[in-house]
Amino acid sequence: MEFLDMADSRKIRDPDQVNANWLAQANLSAGRLTSYGFAVEAAFGHHPSRYLIGRRFRGSAAVTGLFVLGPENLTGTHVWIAEDLASRQCDVQTYVPTMKRSVRLVERYIFDCLPLTDIGYLDLMAWRYPGLGSPVEGVEIDMSWSRWRSARHCRYPGPPTTPGLTVTEAADPRTGLVVARAVARRREVFRRWEILEMGESDMVGLPKRIRVSRRESGSWTELHRTGRPVPIPEEDFDASPGQLRDALEHRLPAE
């Protein structure tokens, strides 16, 4: 299996000719589907949570929308991520009901979590954040907390806006997919994410179960996908986030 690096995206000349391996190794990819949605549920403390996630691939670009349907105090929150491998750009916007409008995150906040959850923005991206540096060679990496100890481990320094920050990832040697991640600041880990159960054989990149943890909570939260992804019309990603949410709710009714 060939492991891909974001730097390779500079070789793209035609966005419509994006390397198929970049799609196959994308986080939250769903086999042959390029425009789709799925539902995820979890329990943060005593509060059950439900999220609807939409993803569209087009050429070298990916758009991801996450919508919170519960708990009640977070209902209406959404995250919108636009990535482009060819131009090495990544834009993250978030909205909570107390805001007048959505806000674009400055870079240093991209390594944090969604409002009042343990889910990280990095964990929703299709590809490695382009602001990270090249892999650091010759460093000792401790992934003893993860079940993916035999995976290929790489550590990446954060951008200049985040001094002392590093992102360590474990990639499955069979598929090349990132299966675990730790985010640290000055060697102190403050966020962890890992896959507990890979996806079905025809969409191995869309995990059935993951777990996440952040320093402030001190515990792990498990999230599970409630069913198979469903196709979503591509044009629903071109309108407002509200239109995509309506499309997802229509095609992914609560069980």
- pLDDT, residue 17, reads 44
Q: Residue 87 has what pLDDT?
A: 93
| Helix (H), strand (E) at residue 193 | strand 188-197
Q: Whole-model pTM? A: 0.89
Tens digit of each residue's pLDDT (9 = 90 or more) over 151-180: 999 999 999 999 999 999 999 998 899 999
Structural domains for the chain: 6-251 (2.50.20.10)
Q: How far apart are CA 224 and CA 39, in angstroms?
A: 9
Element (H, E) at 93: strand 89-95
Residue 240 pLDDT: 87
pLDDT value at position 11? 41
Pairing of strands 220-225, 78-84: unpaired
- What pLDDT, on the 0 to 100 scale, is given for residue 112? 94
Give every residue of the chain whose pLDDT is below 50, as ranges. 1-18
The residue written with tokens 């509060």 in the block is 47
93 by Cβ neighbours in 10 Å (0-12 / 13-18 / 19+) ranks as middle
| 242/77 Cα distance (integer angstroms) | 11
Question: Which residue type occupies 137?
Answer: E
